[in-house]
A and B are shown apart, each in its own frame.
Chain A
Amino acid sequence: MLLRYVIRNLARHPLRATLTVLTMSIIILAFGLLRTTVAAWYAESLGTPPDRLRTRHAVSISFQLPVTYQQRIAIIPGVSGVSYANWFGGRWKDGKAFFPRYAVEPDSYLELHPEIQLPPPQREAFLRDRRACIVGRKLAAKLGWRVGDIVRLQGSLYPGNWEFTIRGIYTGTSQTTDEGSMYLHWVAMDERRRIEDQARAGTVGWFVVRMANPEQAAQISTTIDQTFANSIAETRTETEQAFRANMATMSGAVIRVIEIMSVLILGISLLVVANAMAMTVRERHHEYGILKTLGFRAPHLGFLIFGESVCLALFGGILGVVLLYPASKGFGMFLTSNLGGFFATFTLPAQLPVLAVSLSVGIGLLGAIIPFLLCLRSRIRDELRHMG
């Protein structure tokens, strides 16, 4: 019967209860979207195969390495393949549609990245044509590109006007594979550099190294870096997972802020529930006094107060989680189409609904603590003050 009492209490102030539930649901929705954003930020690094290393300049990724390192890396024991890539930069049209552009050695790059899937004829066409490029499925869909279209870029890192023919539209093998990038021939870029920017000709941004045995990652990384120690361009080698995670962390101040915000809004939700419960307990202090005279003690009063608080928070949490599914879909579409370079995928983490509901229960419990203590501390005599 006490449970019935709790449920009926919830309906005593329909407006307040509704507003509290809605506030809670919006907070849980916001929390869920923020956590999904953080998860999406790191998703690509988690989905990276463990058998790949990245070798970059020891000082910074913005420094270039000689392309000739490729042969020396390839002969290191345990290395089963090497490719290289470079940021291309550039701007498409007015620059509002941002998407990552990489200049790669296509044959080896595609071989080392089996997650990039191209139909064989498109792959052949791309490999044959130095002025060709391939684009991800999501990018092509967003910009309305089809195979055979010409993409005109205005150079930024490498000045001038550039034209590439789309020879293929790739898809990813998993949800975490980036389908929002463009790949072009490194050699096409380098040919022009040899004429216009000789200082940077023959250099690459990083090498992608495939290992025969991922367990040798530490040893192979050390050997690569030792090979180029004391050279003009020393290297730093790490697993691709670590590389991507570092990149995410380096540019992750915003993500850190998002993480902090997600915790802060939970604090706000706690205050909302605590405030609602404090009002409730204050209004019913006389009623709690009656219950005390009937012999009700802390566990019974606790059941009533915590029960109501948890129900409010839980209903809000469940509603928030229900809203989270369509909202994350819409938000994800927006992010991946506008910030595809940062968010290859935007999927609700599997454990998030459970986490959100658990947090709602926790918030309900925490929010009721102070009102409950106030109720306990209050004396029957004061609660029944109007007697006599």
Chain B
Amino acid sequence: MTSSIIDVQKVSHSYFRDDIEIPVLKQLTLSIAPESFVALLGPSGSGKTTILNLLAGFDRPMHGRVSINETNVSRLPERQLARWRAKTIGFIFQFYNLIPVLTAAENVELPLLLTSLSRAQRVKHVATALRLVGLGDRMTHYPRQLSGGQEQRVAIARAIVMDPVILLADEPTGNLDSEAAEEIMTLLQRLNTEQGKTIVLVTHDLEAAQRATTICKLQKGRLE
């Protein structure tokens, strides 16, 4: 038994380009406690996005084990993995990745379509999530009608609407001005402290990383 919610044990991973092996992670071990806010800090190519891919089950490690909430993610079949991912993890991307033809509320509602919630229940959840990120009055706005910071907050609402225990954020402020970035980081901190979400933030921005409770520096596939 372990007290960590995320447990990465001796994971090695490589990519192949034209049959040339490019090692990305080397015997990496990482444990993250529940309700912590961890920043993975490192330059491009250090392997931070690869760790996110492995945590989310987008990729399977070549060696080692990735466990989340005591579930060995590396061994879950694809079908179960999708269900597990939808319930356990919320994603926040650098480019917000909202669906442009759907309103803010519809974007947030997307993950709920996979549940057995009624339409009324879904609407309620969506309203709660959008209010939580301060966009209760922008529900019918399309992404093109929102600022970058607002779009990212809609993306955060979408990430939390299923009430996942873990949020994986990949450079969430990378595409924002400093004021909007500040707002987003404050929001993430609130989600961590008030909602008890475990947050793994991937960034190369030291200032953003300093908002986390723990900073892990990655260099050439290893933790420093």
Binding site for B on A (CB under 8 A): 1-2, 4-5, 8-9, 11-12, 286-287, 290-297, 300, 379-381, 384, 386-388
Say whether B49 contacts A295, CB under 8 Å.
Answer: no
**Which interface residue of A8, A294, A379 has the most chain B CB atoms within 10 A?**
A294
- The answer to whether A1 and B106 touch (CB under 8 A), given A297-B82, A381-B58, is yes
Q: Interface majority SS on B: helix, strand, loop or mixed?
A: helix
Contacts A295-B82, A387-B53 known; list 6 others, CB within 8 Å: A12-B101, A294-B158, A295-B83, A295-B87, A380-B58, A388-B49
Q: Kindly state the separation between the CA atoms of A40 and B113 in the bound complex, as whole angstroms.
A: 51
Contact of B97 with A by CB under 8 A: yes
Q: Kindly state the separation between the CA atoms of A296 and B99 in the bound complex, as whole angstroms.
A: 14
| A-facing residues in B106-129 (Cβ within 8 Å) | 106, 109-111, 113-114
- The answer to whether A1 and B109 touch (CB under 8 A), given A8-B101, A9-B101, A294-B86, is yes
Say whether A297 contacts B85, CB under 8 Å.
Answer: no
> With a CB–CB cut-off of 8 A, which chain B residues contact A381?
53, 58-59
Say whether A387 contacts B101, CB under 8 Å.
Answer: no
Q: Kindly state the separation between the CA atoms of A99 and B20 in the bound complex, as whole angstroms.
A: 77
Convert B153-178 into 0s and 1s, putting 1 for each residue whose CB lies closer than 8 angstroms to a CB of A.
00000100000000000110000000
A288 CB to nearest B CB, Å: 10
Q: Kindly state the separation between the CA atoms of A291 and B202 in the bound complex, as whole angstroms.
A: 21
Nearest-neighbor residue (CB-CB) of B111 within chain A: A294
Nearest-neighbor residue (CB-CB) of A291 within chain B: B110
Q: Kindly state the separation between the CA atoms of A287 and B110 in the bound complex, as whole angstroms.
A: 12
Q: Kindly state the separation between the CA atoms of A297 and B58 in the bound complex, as whole angstroms.
A: 14
Say whether A388 contacts B202, CB under 8 Å.
Answer: yes
> With a CB–CB cut-off of 8 A, which chain B residues contact A286?
97
Say whether A292 contacts B97, CB under 8 Å.
Answer: no
Q: Kindly state the separation between the CA atoms of A224 and B109 in the bound complex, as whole angstroms.
A: 80
Say whether A386 contacts B95, CB under 8 Å.
Answer: yes
Nearest-neighbor residue (CB-CB) of A289 within chain B: B97
Nearest-neighbor residue (CB-CB) of A11 within chain B: B101
Nearest-neighbor residue (CB-CB) of A381 within chain B: B58
Binding site for A on B (CB under 8 A): 44, 48-49, 52-53, 56, 58-59, 79, 82-83, 85-87, 91, 93-95, 97, 99-102, 106, 109-111, 113-114, 158, 170-171, 202
> With a CB–CB cut-off of 8 A, which chain B residues contact A384?
58, 93, 97
> With a CB–CB cut-off of 8 A, which chain A residues contact B85?
293, 295
- The answer to whether A2 and B113 touch (CB under 8 A), given A293-B56, A379-B58, is yes
B220 CB to nearest A CB, Å: 15
**Which interface residue of A295, A379, A380 has the most chain B CB atoms within 10 A?**
A295
Nearest-neighbor residue (CB-CB) of B47 within chain A: A388
A287 CB to nearest B CB, Å: 6
Q: Kindly state the separation between the CA atoms of A294 and B202 in the bound complex, as whole angstroms.
A: 19
For the complex of A and B, list the 8 residue pairs with the smallest distance between their C-beta atoms, beginning with the closest.
A295-B86, A388-B49, A8-B101, A380-B58, A381-B58, A290-B97, A294-B111, A387-B170
Q: Tell me which of A12, A294, A380, A387 contacts B110 (CB under 8 A).
A: A294
Q: Kindly state the separation between the CA atoms of A297 and B86 in the bound complex, as whole angstroms.
A: 11
B62 CB to nearest A CB, Å: 14
**Which interface residue of B79, B110, B111 has the most chain A CB atoms within 10 A?**
B110
Q: Kindly state the separation between the CA atoms of A338 and B164 in the bound complex, as whole angstroms.
A: 74
17 A-B pairs in the complex with CB atoms less than 8 angstroms apart:
A1-B109, A5-B102, A5-B106, A8-B101, A290-B93, A294-B86, A295-B82, A295-B85, A295-B86, A296-B82, A296-B114, A300-B113, A381-B53, A381-B58, A384-B97, A387-B93, A387-B94
Q: Tell me which of B102, B109, B114 contacts A295 (CB under 8 A).
A: B114
Say whether B170 contacts A388, CB under 8 Å.
Answer: yes
Say whether A290 contacts B99, CB under 8 Å.
Answer: yes
Nearest-neighbor residue (CB-CB) of A284 within chain B: B99
> With a CB–CB cut-off of 8 A, which chain B residues contact A9?
101
Nearest-neighbor residue (CB-CB) of B84 within chain A: A295
Nearest-neighbor residue (CB-CB) of A294 within chain B: B111
Q: Kindly state the separation between the CA atoms of A381 and B53 in the bound complex, as whole angstroms.
A: 7
Q: Kindly state the separation between the CA atoms of A346 and B100 in the bound complex, as whole angstroms.
A: 49
> With a CB–CB cut-off of 8 A, which chain A residues contact B59?
379, 381
Say whether B48 contacts A388, CB under 8 Å.
Answer: yes
A304 CB to nearest B CB, Å: 10
B172 CB to nearest A CB, Å: 11
Q: Kindly state the separation between the CA atoms of A291 and B111 in the bound complex, as whole angstroms.
A: 8
> With a CB–CB cut-off of 8 A, which chain A residues contact B106?
1, 4-5
Q: Kindly state the separation between the CA atoms of A223 and B59 in the bound complex, as whole angstroms.
A: 82
Nearest-neighbor residue (CB-CB) of B159 within chain A: A294
Q: Kindly state the separation between the CA atoms of A293 and B167 in the bound complex, as whole angstroms.
A: 12
Nearest-neighbor residue (CB-CB) of A379 within chain B: B58
> With a CB–CB cut-off of 8 A, which chain A residues contact B99?
5, 287, 290
Nearest-neighbor residue (CB-CB) of A296 within chain B: B114
B109 CB to nearest A CB, Å: 6
- The answer to whether A300 and B170 touch (CB under 8 A), given A293-B56, A387-B52, A388-B52, is no
Q: Tell me which of B79, B91, B94 contacts A293 (CB under 8 A).
A: B91
> With a CB–CB cut-off of 8 A, which chain B residues contact A296?
82, 110, 114
Q: Tell me which of B82, B102, B158 contacts A8 (CB under 8 A).
A: B102
Q: Kindly state the separation between the CA atoms of A295 and B84 in the bound complex, as whole angstroms.
A: 8
